[in-house]
Amino acid sequence: MPHRLTRAVLLTAVALTACTRGMNYPRLDGPRYAGGPAVSPVAAPAAPAAFRLVTFNVRHAEEVDSAIVVLQLTPELALAVVVALQEVDAPATERIARSLGMRYVYYPATLHPKFDRDFGNAVLSRWPIVADRKLVLPHLGRFRKTERTATAATVVIGGTPVRVYSAHLGTLAEIGPRSKRDQAQMILADAAPFPHVIVLGDMNSHGIGEAFRRAGYAWPTEQNPRTHAFGN
């Protein structure tokens, strides 16, 4: 949906996961993957009055070709200038970014034991990405002991730095509501110094939007339908 430069949070929900321990990546400096077309300040697109944002959970980094088709051929998605991805690995991120002609930064959170591939979050942008970092969110999953992360990127939109987050909070089976609020609070704390912030992602909860609204964020997806029957 189009949105102006402001503080905003876009929320989706996904399925519960089963249980076997994974291997986490607790280091804040990596693994890190970044790339995309080079851009000069002259070539960078000017900031529009409003622009479209997309958050997309690729679900186990499977059917990447199908995800690319959806992102390219769905008019509402193809117009996106910032795309946040969840449940992707480095090859999937690079392929999707290349297909869209976008820059990207990606940090994996964990090596998933069932699928034997990295899972993490990425930020893709048509504007320059000038800084990035990984946030390791508190509270490991109850069964697999996997960590959750957010990928933060500072995107320069028409000369204005905007902090963008691609986040994936714990599922209902992994953590309780208080722990989920703790994860949201870590993102809010990191975002506090930035005047322009956009939070996108799979929050595995509808109600967590209240935590962002109390911190002064707009909630443009509040009235959207549930994306999964177990979303709360």
Q: pTM of the prediction?
A: 0.86
Residue with tokens 């929900």: 13
The CATH class given to the 2-214 domain equals alpha beta
Confidence of residue 64 (pLDDT cuts 50, 70, 90): very high
Residue type present at position 203: M
* For residues 105-116, average pLDDT: 89
Residue with tokens 């964020």: 217
Which pLDDT score, from 0 to 100, does residue 232 have?
46
Indicate the domain borders of the chain. Answer: 2-214
Confidence of residue 48 (pLDDT cuts 50, 70, 90): low
Q: What is the 3-state secondary structure (H, E, C) of the chain?
A: CEECCCCEECCECCCCCCCCCCEECCCCCCCCEEECCCCCCCCCCCCCCCEEEEEEECCCCCCHHHHHHHHHHCHHHHCCCEEEEEEECHHHHHHHHHHHCCEEEEEEEEEECCCCEEEEEEEEECCCEEEEEEEECCCCCCCCCCCCEEEEEEEEECCEEEEEEEEECCCCCCCCHHHHHHHHHHHHHHHCCCCCEEEEEECCCCCCHHHHHHCCCECCCCCCCCCCCCCC
Express as a percent the part of the chain with pLDDT over 70.
Answer: 83
